[in-house]
Amino acid sequence: MTIMTASFANPKNDAASIERRVQALLAEMTLAEKIGQMNQVNASDEDMPHHLREAIEAGRVGSVLNQVDVDTVNELQRIAVQESRLGIPLLVGRDVIHGFKTVMPIPLGQAATWNPDIVREGARVAAREAATAGINWTFAPMIDISRDPRWGRIAESLGEDPYLASQLAVAMVEGFQGDDLTDAGTIAATAKHFAGYGASESGRDYATVNIPENELRNVHLPPFKAAVDTGVVSLMAAFSDLDGVPATGNEFLLRDVLRDEWDFTGFVVSDWDSVRQLAIHGLTEDDRESVYQAVTAGVDMEMAGQSYVQHLESLIDEGRIDVATIDAMVANILRAKFRLGLFEKPYTDPRALPPIANEHALDTARQAALQSAVLLKNDHGVLPLSANKLKSVAVIGPLADAPYEQLGTWIFDGDRELSITPMHAIHSLVGHEVDVRYLRAMDNSRSRASEAFDEAEEIARDSDVVLLFLGEESILSGEAHSRADINLPGDQAELVRRVKAAGKPVIAIIQAGRPLTLTNIIDDVDAILFAWHPGTMGGPAIAELLFGVESPSGKLPVTFPRMVGQIPIYYSQKNTGKPPSPETVVLIDDIDAHAPQLSTGMTAYHLDAGFTPLFPFGYGLSYTEFDYQDIRTSAEEVGLGDTLTVSAELTNVGDFDAEEVVQLYVRDLVANVTRPVKELKGFRRLRLESGQTVTVNFELHTSDLAFFGRDMKLINEPGKFHAWIGGSSETQLRTEFRIIDGD
Ligand code: BGC
């Protein structure tokens, strides 16, 4: 046994020294050891199986995933470092998606904060906690643009918009990876799933994806480009088929775009067994051919499948794959291990890291939950409640006291014991002044048993106000948990009607992993606070919002449809040749009997849904009112390559000190390819005291308006633009400017 670690360890971690060490190490490696680095093995068993120990010792494993017992992880590292011939440490991967033990809101909820600072801090907390278990690599952030709420994985996404998702993707990568990946408590991030997975047909998970290249480049790739530019260590290839070529075998994505255009120097991991799935897709005949395709396309590491280990060597022997290709791929993986400082510090001492669920972690989770909740409706200012004006509050519903469900999907390590539920939080906040009466009413969100509804109605009648906790259990969203019907599941709508019949104000607090079609309950409730799955500290955040300790300030990162048939519905649609307007819309009930078909005046809308969503992207109410005035630009014209300022005056004209997310949208009126009717180009979360006015300035460089044209190249064209500033994508406060050719 040779212990080589020391010779490759070097505290100087600049890129040049890393490159030298990568090459020196590669020169020492046998082909089998190289292939070993490309192999990631599931190590979730509690007892470390003998074959895993042997495989690591023989240098046939580059990474493990799903082992979170720190002693076991340290032992695995010890075998890799001290017992394998070259002493190469392991990447230890885990899905740390929105927290480790302390759980932040689901990523879609975090996106509703529109706050990169809190998102960054959430990832930082998650990284520190995960690092205590020896995890050095997470499979997050998931940055698939998601415009289909049926898709269960929309919960894991940062929503529908390329700009918002890019900004938050950067924040998450920064949070996980810190300033220096060798620092304790930082872990490597993975931008996933590259690319287009969010556009699965009908929102059915793993389904086919067809995205024209222009849309791929303008909409789906920007968050990945942003993550790459931020130094994300790895990318994960998607399960899905993109225009006939599954991402795991897609050379265009993994080589042409990622390596040649973006100069990515990190590594690409497959998704779980997605190399072998190439044969199931029908792209290849067998596993061996799948390995050929995946390696040729540029998948550096295979997750879970073992087919690289089985077939790669013979493909190289036959000369179908050359060693130089393998060397480059292994170098990508080794580079990551050096960047992480694993050669210097392969082991984990949890005591050297901050304790799990410490005050800062819980406070970050609380802040994130506070800022993520979106107030969708608040008739007659029914919210906020004032405890001193109430005698009793009814707390009803399957999600009022559901510590596990509030955590949401992908919480392998999330600790439900840490959860503070809304019911408990409401008790602690106002229980000393107000009589809080709790009834679960339904076993779970899908229940069809309505025996308790009489009692619910009775409690509602005897109380001053009803807080109705509705939504989806966590298992109804996430991977492979798509729904075709996105109404509130089970008999919840009936529960709403029964409670409403009691005649008291009804406030619905909805926890869910996706936008829901709320059309069938919206008129029966006075207010709706949409809290997503808010995580460990969801309860206190919700209680504080309901009782006005803070004002809601979340804004929708995704459009809420009125009905499923409108999907996909998103704000940055194209205008079409027949854009709808209120004047052109005649809904189904307004059509005269025997009305003849006309060929004039017809526009793009649904007879039964119109053309507007239930709630638009960027929308969210507050306890105060924000007034926007005087939008203007610093000049009427801006030369290509220059910067323009777009400004507006924002006043808090209500009585409540509160935060507002100010949004800047732009439309390129005429272009080489048709452009969306509105595109988000800037946003800022600001706190304004009641009565306060601020000037909000957005700097817009003309390159921020570049887009991919017909030849799939990024172009910047002169021409006329509209710009809007406001509190949602439906803002009407508009100005215009022109980009002129600088020469
Ligand atoms: C998911 C990935 C995840 C991986 C490992 C796959 O099924 O698609 O997002 O990182 O499993 O758990």
pLDDT digits (tens, 9 = 90+) for 711-735: 999 999 999 999 999 999 999 999 9
- The CATH number of the domain covering residues in 373-546: 3.40.50.1700
Instruction: Express each pLDDT in 339-359 by its tens digit.
Output: 999 999 999 999 999 999 999
| Interhelix angle 538-546/422-430, nearest 10 degrees | 50
Instruction: Check if 137 has its Cβ closer than 6 Å to any atom of ligand 1.
Output: no
Residue 139 Cα to ligand 1 middle (Å): 7
Mean pLDDT of 355-375: 98
Contact 718, 741 (CB under 8 A): yes
In the chain, residues under CATH classification 3.20.20.300 are 6-352
Mean pLDDT of 403-427: 98
Question: Looking at ligand 1, which atom is closest to the CA of residue 190?
Answer: 10
- Is the model's pLDDT at 1 over the cut of 50? no
Going from the Cα of 195 to the center of ligand 1, the distance in angstroms, rounded, reads: 14
Q: What is the dihedral of CA 472, 274, 90, 78, to 10 degrees?
A: 90
Task: Please count the residues of the chain.
Answer: 743
For residue 156, give the ligand 1 atom closest to its CA. 9
- How far from chain centre, in Å, is Cα 727? 21
What is the predicted pLDDT for the residue at 653? 98
DSSP string for residues in 204-243: -TT--B---HHHIIIIISHHHHHHHHTT-SEEEE-SSEET
In the chain, list all ranges with CATH 3.40.50.1700. Answer: 373-546
Where does the pLDDT of residue 14 fall: very low under 50, low under 70, confident under 90, or very high at 90 and above? confident
Cα of 152 vs its chain's centroid, Å:
12
CATH superfamily placement of domain 626-740: Immunoglobulins (2.60.40.10)
User: 413: CA distance to ligand 1 center in Å?
Assistant: 15
From the CB of 479, is ligand 1 less than 6 Å away? yes
Q: Quick check: CB of 148 below 6 Å from ligand 1?
A: no
With a 6 Å cutoff on the Cβ, whether 95 touches ligand 1 is: yes
The residue whose CA has the least distance to atom 4 of ligand 1 is 272
Within 13 Å, how many C-alpha atoms sit on residue 237's CB side? 34
Is 4 a residue whose pLDDT tops 50? no
Q: How far is CA 559 from CA 314, 515, 619, in A?
A: 50, 8, 9
**2 pLDDT above the threshold of 50:** no
Distance in Å, CA 356 to ligand 1 centroid: 24
- The b/e string for 453-486 (b: 16+ C-beta within 10 A; e otherwise) is beebbebbeebebbbbbbbbbbbbbbbebbbeeb
Per-residue pLDDT of 520-566, as tens digits, reads 999 999 999 999 999 999 999 999 999 999 999 999 999 999 999 99
Of residues 144, 271, 491, 668, which has the active-site annotation? 271
pLDDT score for 50: 84
Pocket test for ligand 1, best of 41, 98, 479 (most atoms within 8 A of CB): 479
Place of tokens 């004047």: 583
Q: Is the CB of 156 under 6 A from ligand 1?
A: no
CA 521 to chain centre: 27
Rounded to an integer, the average pLDDT of 641-666 is 98
Q: Is 410 in the pocket of ligand 1 (CB under 6 A)?
A: no
Tell me which residue has its CA closest to atom 7 in ligand 1.
Answer: 272
Q: For residue 304, which atom of ligand 1 is closest to its CA?
A: 5
Mean pLDDT of the chain: 96
What is residue 600's predicted lDDT score, i.e. its pLDDT? 77
Q: Mention every residue, 6+ apart, whose C-beta is less than 8 A from residue 211.
A: 196, 199, 219, 220, 242, 243
Instruction: Check whether the bond before 352 is cis (ω within 30° of 0).
Output: no
- Ligand 1 centroid from CA 272, angstroms: 6
Peptide bond into 515 cis (omega under 30): no
Tell me the three state secondary structure of residue 64: strand
For domain 6-352, which architecture applies?
Alpha-Beta Barrel (3.20)
Give span(s): CATH 2.60.40.10, the chain: 626-740
CB atoms within 10 A of CB 319: 8
What is the pLDDT, as a whole number, of residue 45? 78
Hey, which of 63, 91, 94, 95 would you mutate to test ligand 1's pocket, going by the most ligand atoms within 8 Å of its Cβ?
95
* Closest residue by CA, ligand 1 atom 12: 95
pLDDT band for 12, please (50, 70, 90 cuts).
low
Asked whether 144 lines ligand 1 (CB < 6 A), one says no
264-284 exposure pattern, b = at least 16 Cβ within 10 A, e = fewer: bbbbbbbbbbbbbbbbebebb
Q: How far is CA 562 from the centre of its chain?
A: 23
pLDDT mean over 636-655? 98
Query: Does the pLDDT value for residue 169 go beyond 70?
Result: yes
693-701 and 719-726 as β-strands: parallel, antiparallel, unpaired? unpaired
pLDDT recorded at residue 283? 98
Query: Is any ligand 1 atom within 6 A of the Cβ of residue 194?
Result: no
Judge if the beta carbon of residue 272 lies within 6 A of ligand 1. Answer: yes
Overall average pLDDT of the 581-597 stretch: 93
- State residue 7's pLDDT score: 56
Distance 274 CA to ligand 1 centre (A): 10
Q: DSSP H helical segments within 503-556, as ranges?
A: 538-546
- Check pocket membership of 405 for ligand 1, CB cut-off 6 A: no
Cα 26 to averaged position of ligand 1 atoms, centre (Å) = 29
> Residue 604's pLDDT is what?
96
Tokens of 396: 């009803």
CA nearest ligand 1 atom 2, residue:
271
- How far is ligand 1, taken at its centre, from the CA of residue 34, in Å? 24
Q: What's the pTM value of the predicted model, to 2 decimals?
A: 0.97
Whether the per-residue pLDDT at 743 is higher than 70: the answer is no
Q: For residue 77, which amino acid is it?
A: Q
Q: Which atom of ligand 1 is nearest to the CA of 66?
A: 12
Q: Measure Cα distances from 705 to 253, 715, 719 in Å.
A: 24, 9, 11
What is the arithmetic mean of pLDDT over 565-584?
A: 97
Q: Rounded to an integer, what distance in angstroms lies between the CA atom of residue 319 and that of residue 26?
A: 20
C-alpha of residue 509 to centroid of ligand 1, in Å: 30
* Residue 668 is among the residues annotated as catalytic for this protein: no
Q: For residue 363, what are the contacts with CB-CB under 8 A and spacing of at least 6?
A: none
Query: How is residue 209 annotated by DSSP?
Result: B
Please state, for a pLDDT cut of 90, what percent of the chain lies above it.
Answer: 96
Evaluate whether 98 touches 126 at the Cβ level (below 8 Å): yes
